[in-house]
Structure 1
């Protein structure tokens, strides 16, 4: 199937899997350095918790993106506005993940990118709704 929304969806899914692999590596390497008993006492360091939080984030707002994209594909209601908004969403999610997995500067950077991605999703939803009504 050749649809312009498939590639952004695959990139978003691939990023989620890469974050999962990074999280697994971070946890296993920390456990091997400190041991389970110490981790239970002190917990994981901030960078490992940030990776965990980011992986959880991949199953919040992006789920709406996946469902909406599938609806658009099934109905054939894509427009250039929808495709552009999808790419803004995915690129924004990559930037959001990068920020959270590195310095994790919430205000203004991470939150600002989050707002942009949500606005892109809202534009996708409104454009889709206008196509199908």
Structure 2
């Protein structure tokens, strides 16, 4: 696979993360400006943000959990030249699951729906790592 094909899903994931960072900043700034938040000592996570600002922050922080393992895998697959069509297709499934998860999270936030999208991404990433590990270790 071409480097561009392998990196495109990673770029999409990175832009999703940056988009959620900007969304979190916008919602938090608006909440502070509207006087809906009282800053106190300690972590901003404990400030008692309004629901929309908290969802945006949680959604952003979710992108700092599984996606780093995805980014590492993409980098390794490029270095070892073990990225094929299956790898790219699974990469897009992972990223699509993260996008839908973020949309659900920042929307109606239906927990079972959100969990299903999270689980799809998690299982896809686990399978990607297993396939990659087998290919590298067996080769």
Partner Cα distance (2:84, 2:54) in 1: 39
* Long gaps (5+) in structure 1: none
Q: As a proportion of its length, which structure holds more helix?
A: 1
Instruction: Decide whether the 8 Å contact of 1:81 with 1:127 is kept in 2.
Output: no
Quote the offset at 1:2 in angstroms.
3.0
The TM-score with structure 2 as length reference comes to: 0.87
Q: Is 1:127 aligned to 2:125, yes or no? A: no
Q: Map 1:5-16 to 2 at 5 A.
A: 5-16=6-17
The TM-score with structure 1 as length reference comes to: 0.90
Among 40, 56, 62, the alignment partner of 1:57 is 62
Among 42, 66, 74, the alignment partner of 2:71 is 66
Instruction: Decide whether the 8 Å contact of 2:37 with 2:50 is kept in 1.
Output: no
Partner Cα distance (1:23, 1:128) in 2: 34
* Long gaps (5+) in structure 2: 40-46
1:2 maps to: 3
